[in-house]
Amino acid sequence: MSEIRAEILLPTSDVRADLAFFTRTLGFRLDTIYPADDPRVVVVSGHGLRLRLDQDLKAPAGRLRLLTDDWARLAQGRAELTSPGGTVVQLDELNPPLVLPRTEHAFVVRRLADQAPWVIGRAGMMYRDLVPNRLGGAMIASHIRVPDGKVPDMVHFHKVGFQLIFCIKGWVDVLYEDQGGLRRLHAGDCFIQPPTIRHRVVESGDGIEVIEIGVPAEHVTEIDHAMTLPNAELNPDREWQGQRFVHNLGSTGRFAPFRIPGFEARDTTINANTKGVASVLVARPVGGASPWTRHHGDILFTFVMSGEMTLEGEGKDPYRLSPGDAFVIPPGMKTRYSAPSADLQLIEVSLPGQFQTEIV
């Protein structure tokens, strides 16, 4: 295949002054200049761009955005510069800090029977929103299906504070940075994807369904074109921003008393491996009536994986819940889990991982 180059065309009213600005101030390099006796076109390259500055081009002034960890020095503290020839250059941070919105607490119940729409998302997967208001942007919870079991995925990573993948049906194979070969997730298993860990979905079985929790709700996904997975490094104890990768197998979990009497739960080890950022438990009834309780955490999300129960809330009509339903309980609200079926299983996700539950 013959070589192809791409250039961004920018008009300029002063090609000589712009050449000095782009090379000396912004760090581009000169590639082409002509005609020699009276230059009217220069081509400069740098920072992943190739720019053609043309003094004869009739077009509106251009605008560029440069991302750097040292933009304040580059622009003498200004966030925007204008070249002598009229190009506006916006400067911003290359790796801005992750901003976690303040949680807007609300009582949310999302039932599968309500026919919430499925939408086509990344890599052709089908998404169903489990918390439509997203608690003011504090979190996103998605029920995800892969219609044909094939995901045209690339190596990528997410700039998040917390991310969970919990398989509720079928299986999926994923590759993770520094974790060796394929990791297969079966129903009842989960992954914790630490912030910025590179990964790629390889294949899934027909009928695969997962629950994905992300904090905050709006976060950036970036493709890593340079990394190939599996990579040569093997470092299962590596930390990404204080969190470790977790591949928890539901079949090996042990149950212990739950925070709500009348239930027991198995720990997925996510609280320990995120150093208290979040906890993920699978709870089930053990018999006997459960009392009214209120929690004093921040985010408490629950998904009904199997069976049925009635969710009672102070001042609310009771909800009879079944598989595929989800709910969020705000801190301080009195609730009760009643009339559970013997096969009830709940996935409970809390942020932070440890919080107080009060029996009322």
Q: Alpha helices, DSSP H only, in 104-167?
A: none
Question: How far is C-alpha 225 from the geometric centre of its chain's CA atoms?
Answer: 19
Same domain, residue pair 258 and 330:
yes
d(CA 357, CA 360): 10
Q: Which domain holds residue 164?
A: 108-249
Residue 39 confidence (pLDDT): 94
Q: Mean pLDDT throughout 123-152?
A: 85
Domain contains 103: no
Greatest mean pLDDT range, 147-151, 193-197, 287-291: 193-197
Please tell me whether the peptide bond between 230 and the residue prior to it is cis, using omega within 30 degrees of 0.
yes
Whether 99 maps to a domain, the answer reads: no
Identify whether 100 is part of a domain. no
pLDDT tens, residue by residue, 321-359: 999 999 999 999 999 999 999 999 999 999 999 999 999
| Domain shared by 215 and 232, yes or no | yes
**Given 249, 282, 315, which residue is the final one in a domain?**
249
What lies within 8 Å, CB to CB, of 27 at 6+ separation is: 46, 47, 74
pLDDT tens across 195-248, in order? 999 999 988 888 899 999 999 999 999 999 999 999 999 999 999 999 999 999
Q: Is 112 helix (H, G, I), strand (E, B) or coil?
A: helix
Buried-state track 320-341, b at ≥16 Cβ within 10 A, e below 16: ebbbbbbbbbbeebebbbbebe
Whether residue 101 lies inside any domain: the answer is no
How far is 274 from 160, CA to CA, in rounded Å? 13
Asked if residue 304 lies in contact with residue 270, where contact means CB atoms within 8 angstroms, the answer is no
User: Do 277 and 329 share a domain, yes or no?
Assistant: yes
Which residue type, as a one-letter code, is found at position 107? Answer: F
Farthest-apart Cα atoms in the chain, separation: 93
**What pLDDT is attached to residue 196?**
96
Q: How many domains does the chain have?
A: 3
277 and 191 both lie in a single domain: no
Average per-residue pLDDT for the chain: 93
Percent of the chain clearing pLDDT 70 (strictly above): 97
Check residue 122 and give its pLDDT.
64
292 half-sphere exposure, CB direction, 13 A CA radius: 9
Same domain for 116 and 144, yes or no, is: yes
For residue 150, pLDDT over 70 is answered with: no
In a domain, 102, yes or no: no
- Amino acid sitting at position 275: K
* CATH number for the domain harbouring residue 29: 3.10.180.10
Residue 123 lies in a domain: yes
CA 8 from chain centre, in angstroms, equals 31
pTM: 0.88
Sign of the Cα pseudo-torsion (53, 56, 58, 60, in order): positive
pLDDT tens digit string along 53-79? Answer: 999 999 999 999 999 887 777 777 788
Confidence at residue 191, expressed as pLDDT on a 0 to 100 scale: 97
What's the CATH code of the domain at 153?
2.60.120.10
pLDDT at 206: 84
Q: Is the dihedral of CA 243, 247, 248, 250 positive or negative?
A: positive
The separation between CA 203 and the C-alpha centre of its own chain, rounded to angstroms, equals 20
Pair (167, 190) in one structural domain: yes
Residue 59: CA count within 13 A, CB half-sphere: 15
pLDDT at residue number 1? 65
